[in-house]
Amino acid sequence: MSFALFCDQAYYPCLEATIGRPYALYVHGGSDTTGAVRSVETIATGLKWKRLQDPVTVTGTLDAKDREACWELGATAAAGLMP
């Protein structure tokens, strides 16, 4: 199932059930991630989700710095889910 199809089918059923939930975003692209980030953030805004931190975006090959940023993103997301 594509992300767009998932969003089309899940958006309205999730609208009220997920208001205020935290989210984190990692996007990996070949040369640009701007459109992907904008699309996800538009959907998250409509769902009234709260971004935990700026998205981690990577273009090209992952390096150690990118992996560390992803680890930090995951740790932040996990901490944001704690009551």
- What secondary structure does DSSP assign to 26-54, as a single string? EEEESS--HHHHHHHHHHHHHTT-EE-SP
pLDDT digits (tens, 9 = 90+) for 41-54: 998 998 899 999 99
Residue 45's pLDDT is what?
A: 92
Instruction: State the amino acid at position 52 in one-letter form.
Output: L
User: pTM (2 decimals)?
Assistant: 0.77
Question: Cβ(47)–Cβ(18) under 8 Å?
Answer: yes
Question: Cβ(40)–Cβ(25) under 8 Å?
Answer: yes
